[in-house]
C-alpha cells in the first residue's frame, strides 16, 4: 500500500499538501486493518513523503513539491548536491541505483547486531551517559585487534573513534589545513571529501591516478610547487575507480611524504572488501616516521547507520583531533560503540564478510561481464579487485550531456564522473557501483545504459575516437 | 572489586604498565568466580584504567601515567581542558563532582528508553542504513510537537536533527562566522561553545549579564562597534549562572537583532528544567523577522549518551547547516533517533520530567540553603529558578589560587569560573552544579568548600570587601 501511495506522490498524482484520508477511513475503504494503514503511513513518513501534523492529519509533504526527487536529481553537479542525491535515491520508488558505493542493505547483519545490543542491556544506564571523546575503550581494543590484519601494530590508546570516515576526514581537514591552504587529492577522488574540503575552504589539487595508483612524479611536482599540508589517498580499492595502489607505489608515496614533509591521509574504508585474496597491507603499516594518518570505518563493511569509524594518527595530531572532536559533538553514542565492540569481539565481522564477499565478487563479475557484452568499443573501464566501484571513461560528446537524465527516466541511477574531479577531464566519466544490486539487475542496468550511450555516441559523430587520455585514468 | 583496583591505580599503588593477574589467577586468589573478575576488569577497561592487549594480558593503562586524573585536573584553564576534565570526573574513584551541569545519571530513564529501542526491532534493517541528514522524520514530528510548549509553531520540515547541542552550535558557528570574525557571547557563557569558537578561530566578545539577562545597552554598543555575525545567548536558566532573561529583555534583544542585522542564536537546552512554574516562551516564539536560530537537545532532559538535539533556523540558514552536516558526519544514527521518537511519542519525556523535576528542585534548594548556612559574608551567588547551575562571586585574592586543587584533595570538584569568561573579571568566580548529587552530599560539599574559602579569605586580609562588581554579575 505504501508503495502505491508513494508512486502516486512521485508521479504527481497526489500533489504536495494533499490531505490523506485518516487511518480509520482508509482502513474501511480498502477493507484492511488499521495497523496495516498505520504501517504504510509510517513508512511514507519515514521516506519523507508525507507529514503528520498533530491534530490536523496526514499530508503529502511540501518537501516533495519543493524538490520532486526524480526531477531535481542530477540537476546540480556539485559534490554536495550529488551526496544529497545519492542519500535520497533509496527513497524513490521504481528507481534502481548503481550510483552508491555502498553495500546491499538487505545483507546487513542487523539481527546479529541486535543480539550484541541486547547484551548491553545490563549496562543500560552506563550506555546513555556521555562517553569518552576518544571512544569506548572496549571498541578501541577491538579496532586495535582488527588493525593487525592490516599489518598495523597499534594499542587501544592510539585509536580514536569517530562518527564514520566522513567525520574522521572532516576532523583531519580542519586540524591540518587552514582555509585557502592547498592539499592533494587523487583525480578522481571520493566526492564526500571534496564537499568537506569545500566546506572548510581548503583548496584540493589533483594528483592523477593510473592503474598502479597515484602517480609519484605528479605528487613530487605538486609537493615542490605547492607545499601541501597532506595528501588524501584511498590506496586500496579506491573510490571511485577501484584502483589498488601497488606495494611499490605505496613505498614511493611514503618516501615522498617523508622527503617533502607532508602527511599521507590514508582512507582504508574499502580494504577488506577484497575479492582476489588478501589486500596489500595499509600504508600506515610501513610508517616509521609518523607521516601517515590512517582512517577506516564500518559503513561499507557492516552497516552505515552505526556511524562509527576510527582514526590512528601520530600522537600530536591525535591530541588535536581529540580536542576538535570535543568542539564538534563531544563523543559518539556509547551504546552503539559498545554493541559494535561486542559484535566484533564475537567475530561478527569475519563471519559477515565470509558470507557477503562471495556475493559482492559475483556482482563485480556480473558488472564487468555486462560491460564487455553491451558497451560500445569507445567505452573503457577499470577492473577492480575489491571495493564497490567501476570507473568508466568515454569520449566527451555534447550528445552525452543528457545521459544521466535519460537513465533516470528509464529508472536507473549512476554517479556522473565530473563531481569526483578537481580539474576538468577531456573525457566523459561515470561511476558504476555493483554492491547494492543483484547480478540480474546489474546486467539489465548496464544494458539500458549501454543503449543510451551507443545512441548518443552514434548521433553526431561518424568516427568514434577512443578516449583521449586513458592513462592516467582521467 | 573494580573499585578496589581503581583506588590502587588512582593512588599510584599500581603504576602504569603493571600487568594485572589473569582472570583465572585472581579468581582463585580471592575465592570468587571468574565471571566476577571478568566483570571487574571489564569495568576498569571501560573506565580507561586498564588495557587488554590480545595475547599479552591486562595492563594498567599508560594513559593513567600520562595524565593521572586527580593531578592533571584543573591544571590547565582553557575551555577545552576543562571540558575534558569534566568528562573525566565521573571516572575518578572517591571524587564527588559539583562541576558538571548535567543530570543525575542514576535517574536516567534507561529502561523505558530500552523498551522504545525494542519496539524498533521490527525495523532493524531500516535502522542501520544511512539516514536522512535532516534527521528521522518521526523524530522531527515529535520535536515539532514538543516545541509547541515553547511557544513555537514549526512543522517537522523546519526541524534539523543534530548530534546534540554541541554539534548544533558547531554547525552554526561554522556556517555563520569566518575565522577572525566577531560574535557576541554572554559573560560568563557555556565553556563548550567557547572551545568550539576557538576551534573555528572565531572571536567571542563579552556581553555582560545582570539578573534580568544580557544587558541591552552593551549589546547595542558592540553591535554598532563590531558588527557581529550573531549573539549566542542562553536566555532560559543560563549556564553557568542560572539567570533567566525577563520577557522585556527578550523583546529588547530581538529588536536589537532586527535593527542591527545580527542573528540571535538561542540555546534552549535547560528551559524545561523549570522549578517555579512554566518557563518563559522561547525567544524564537517572538521571531517575525527570521532573526533567531533556536537550538535545543535531550542531554540535560533525558540522556546525554543519545547525542541528539535539534536546530530550527530560518530557511536559507537551515539549508547551509544541512549542507555542513553532510560535510561533517552525514547523519545521526537512525536507530537512536527512531527509539527517541517512540519514547517521546509515548510521552516518555513528560513522565520523566514529572518524576525528576521535584528532585532537582530539592537539590537546588539544598544548595542554596547550604550556601546561606556555610558561606562567609563576602561570597555572593545567583538564585536560579531552573537549570543546574549556581554562579558564585568572591572578592579576588591571591590566596584563592589553589582553591580548586585544595577542593580536589578533599574529594570535591567544582568548575572554576575563569573558563566561562571571555574577558577578565575583577572578581573570583566558580560554578556549582546541583543536578548530579543528592541533597546530603550537596550540603557536605558546600561545607567543605566554604571552609576552604573562609580559610583563604581570612589568611591575608583583615577587612573583607564585598565583590567589586556584583551587578552585572561578572
pLDDT of residue A36: 79
User: Collapsing DSSP states into helix, strand and coil, what is residue B407?
Assistant: helix
- Residues of chain A contacting residue B129, judged by C-beta atoms under 8 Å apart: 90, 105, 108, 303-305
Span of A69-73, A301-305, B72-76, B290-294 with lowest mean pLDDT: A69-73
pLDDT of residue A43: 79
- Are B167 and B309 in contact by the 8 Å Cβ rule? The answer is yes
Domain ranges of chain A: 2-66, 69-106+354-460, 110-349
State the cell numbers at B372: 546561606
A129·B305 Cβ contact <8 A: yes
CB contact burial B196-207 (16+ within 10 A = b; e otherwise): bbbbbebbbbbb
B39 and chain A in contact, CB less than 8 A = no
Angstrom distance (rounded) from CA A390 to CA A155: 35
CB contact under 8 A, B51 and A156: yes
Tell me, which fold does domain A69-106+354-460 have in CATH? 3.90.1150
Q: How confident is the model at residue B14 (pLDDT cuts 50, 70, 90)?
A: confident
Pick the CATH number of B110-349 from 3.40.640.10, 1.25.40.10, 3.40.50.970, 3.40.50.300: 3.40.640.10
> What does the block give as the cell for A414?
549512476
Question: Is A469 a residue whose pLDDT tops 60?
Answer: no
Contacts of A40 (CB under 8 A, 6+ apart): A1, A2, A5
Least confident interval from A24-38, A446-460, B56-70, B275-289: B56-70
What residues in B contact A132, CB-CB < 8 Å?
A: 48, 87-88
Are residues A304 and B53, on separate chains, in Cβ contact within 8 Å? no
Q: Which residues of A131-151 are buried (b: 16+ CB within 10 A; e: fewer)?
A: bbbbbbbbbbbbbbbbbeebe
* Confidence grade of residue B66 (pLDDT, cut at 50, 70, 90): very low
How confident is the model at residue A471, as a pLDDT? 45
Contacts of A87 in chain B (CB under 8 A): 130, 132-133, 326, 330-331
Summarize the confidence of residues B230-242 as an average pLDDT. Answer: 98
Name chain B contacts of A329, Cβ cutoff 8 Å.
Answer: 163-164, 166-167, 170, 307, 329
Q: From the list A130, A305, A327, which residue is nearest B87 (CB)?
A: A130
pLDDT digits (tens, 9 = 90+) for A203-259: 999 999 999 999 999 999 999 999 999 999 999 999 999 999 999 999 999 999 999
Q: Is B145 on the interface with A (CB under 8 A)?
A: yes
What would the CATH number be for the domain defined by B74-106+354-460? Answer: 3.90.1150.10
Asked if B331 is an interface residue toward chain A (Cβ–Cβ < 8 A), one would say yes
| B-proximal residues of A, 168-197, CB under 8 Å | 170, 174, 178-179, 192, 195-196
| Nearest-angstrom CA–CA distance, B403 and B414 | 10
Across A450-464, B47-61, B124-138, the highest mean pLDDT is recorded for B124-138
HSE (side-chain half, CA atoms, 13 Å) at A60? 22
| A94 pLDDT higher than 80 | no
Alpha-carbon torsion (B9, B14, B15, B19), positive or negative: negative
Q: What is the mean pLDDT of chain B?
A: 90
In CATH, what is the architecture of B2-66?
Orthogonal Bundle (1.10)
In this prediction, residue B323 has a pLDDT band, given cuts at 50, 70 and 90, of very high
Q: What are phi and psi of A120, to 5 degrees?
A: -85, -5
Instruction: Kindly indicate the confidence band of residue A356, based on its pLDDT and cuts at 50, 70 and 90.
Output: very high
Q: Rounded to a whole number, what is the distance in Å from the CA of A57 to chain B's nearest CA? A: 12
Q: Which residues of chain A does B125 touch, with a Cβ-Cβ cutoff of 8 Å?
A: 105-106, 108, 110
Taking each helix axis as running N to C, give the angle between helix B191-200 and helix B79-89, from 0 to 180 degrees, rounded to the nearest 10.
130
B118 CB neighbour count, 10 Å cutoff: 15
Q: Predicted confidence band at B316 (pLDDT cuts at 50, 70, 90)?
A: very high
Q: Strand, helix or coil at A294?
A: strand
Helices (H), A47-190: 62-66, 69-72, 79-89, 110-118, 124-127, 137-147, 164-176
Range A381-401 average pLDDT: 96
A137 within 8 A of B299, measured Cβ to Cβ: no
Nearest CA in chain A to B46: A137
Rounded to 5 degrees, what are φ and ψ at A11?
Answer: -80, 5
Q: Which of A87-101, A237-251, A396-410 has the highest mean pLDDT?
A: A237-251
Interface-testing mutation among A179, A329, A348, with chain B (most B C-beta atoms within 10 A): A329
pLDDT band, very low/low/confident/very high, at B134 (cuts 50, 70, 90): very high
User: At residue B10, does pLDDT exceed 70?
Assistant: no
Q: Is the pLDDT of residue B461 over 70?
A: no
Work out the pLDDT band at A120, boundaries 50, 70, 90: very high
| pLDDT computed for residue A5 by the predictor | 78
pLDDT above 80 for A174: yes
A·B CB contacts under 8 A: 233
Closest CA to B318 of B445, B154, B99, B76: B154
Task: Assess contact for A202 and A177: CB atoms under 8 A.
Answer: yes
Q: What is the pLDDT of residues B29-51, one digit of tens each?
A: 777 888 778 878 887 887 778 88
pLDDT digits (tens, 9 = 90+) for B335-392: 999 999 999 999 999 999 999 999 999 999 999 999 999 999 999 999 999 999 999 9
Chain A residue with Cα closest to B197: A327
Strand partners, B380: B393
Residue A86 to residues A70, A141, B123: CA-CA distances in angstroms?
Answer: 12, 33, 22
Confidence of residue A90 (pLDDT cuts 50, 70, 90): low
**How much is the average pLDDT of B117-142?**
92
Amino acid at each position: 500500500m505504501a508503495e502505491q501511495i508513494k508512486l502516486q506522490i512521485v508521479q504527481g498524482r497526489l500533489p504536495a499538501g494533499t490531505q490523506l484520508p485518516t487511518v480509520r477511513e482508509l482502513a474501511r475503504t480498502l477493507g484492511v486493518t488499521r495497523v496495516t494503514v498505520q504501517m504504510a503511513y509510517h513508512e511514507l513518513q519515514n521516506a519523507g513523503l508525507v507529514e503528520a501534523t498533530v491534530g490536523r492529519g496526514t499530508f503529502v509533504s511540501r518537501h516533495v513539491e519543493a524538490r520532486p526527487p526524480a526531477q531535481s536529481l542530477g540537476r546540480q553537479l556539485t559534490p554536495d548536491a550529488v551526496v544529497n542525491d545519492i542519500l535520497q535515491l533509496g527513497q524513490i520508488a521504481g528507481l534502481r541505483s548503481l550510483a552508491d558505493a555502498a553495500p546491499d542493505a538487505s545483507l546487513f547483519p542487523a539481527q546479529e547486531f541486535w543480539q550484541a545490543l541486547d547484551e548491553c542491556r545490563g549496562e543500560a544506564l552506563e550506555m546513555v551517559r556521555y562517553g569518552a571523546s576518544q571512544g569506548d575503550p572496549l571498541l578501541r581494543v577491538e579496532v586495535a585487534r582488527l588493525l593487525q590484519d592490516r599489518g598495523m601494530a597499534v594499542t587501544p590508546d592510539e585509536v580514536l573513534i569517530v562518527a564514520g570516515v566522513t567525520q574522521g576526514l572532516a576532523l583531519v581537514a580542519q586540524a591540518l589545513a587552514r582555509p585557502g591552504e592547498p592539499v592533494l587529492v587523487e583525480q578522481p577522488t571520493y566526492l564526500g571529501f571534496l564537499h568537506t574540503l569545500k566546506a572548510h575552504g581548503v583548496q584540493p589539487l589533483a594528483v592523477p591516478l593510473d592503474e598502479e595508483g597515484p602517480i609519484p612524479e605528479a605528487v613530487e611536482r605538486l609537493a615542490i610547487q605547492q607545499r601541501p599540508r597532506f595528501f588524501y589517498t584511498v590506496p586500496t580499492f579506491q573510490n571511485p575507480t577501484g584502483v589498488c595502489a601497488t606495494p611499490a607505489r605505496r613505498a614511493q608515496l611514503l618516501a615522498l611524504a617523508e622527503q617533502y614533509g607532508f602527511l599521507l591521509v590514508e582512507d582504508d574504508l574499502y580494504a577488506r572488501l577484497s575479492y582476489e585474496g588478501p589486500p596489500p597491507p595499509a600504508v600506515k603499516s610501513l610508517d616509521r616516521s609518523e607521516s601517515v594518518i590512517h582512517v577506516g570505518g564500518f559503513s561499507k563493511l557492516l552497516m552505515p547507520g552505526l556511524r562509527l569509524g576510527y582514526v590512528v594518527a601520530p600522537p600530536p595530531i591525535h591530541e588535536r583531533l581529540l580536542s576538535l572532536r570535543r568542539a564538534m559533538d563531544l563523543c559518539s553514542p556509547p551504546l552503539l560503540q559498545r554493541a559494535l565492540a561486542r559484535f566484533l569481539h564475537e567475530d561478527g565481522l569475519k563471519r559477515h564478510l565470509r558470507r557477503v564477499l562471495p556475493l559482492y565478487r559475483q556482482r563485480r563479475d556480473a558488472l564487468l561481464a555486462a560491460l564487455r557484452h553491451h558497451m560500445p568499443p569507445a567505452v573503457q573501464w577499470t577492473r577492480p579487485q575489491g571495493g564497490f566501484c567501476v570507473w568508466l571513461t568515454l569520449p566527451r560528446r555534447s550528445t552525452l550531456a543528457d545521459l544521466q537524465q535519460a537513465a533516470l527516466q528509464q529508472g536507473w541511477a549512476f554517479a556522473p564522473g565530473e563531481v569526483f574531479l578537481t580539474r576538468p577531464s577531456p573525457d566523459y566519466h561515470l561511476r558504476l557501483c555493483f554492491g547494492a544490486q543483484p547480478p540480474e539487475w546489474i546486467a539489465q542496468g548496464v544494458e539500458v545504459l549501454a543503449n543510451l550511450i551507443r545512441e548518443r555516441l552514434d548521433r553526431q559523430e561518424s568516427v568514434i575516437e577512443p578516449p583521449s587520455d586513458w592513462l592516467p585514468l582521467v
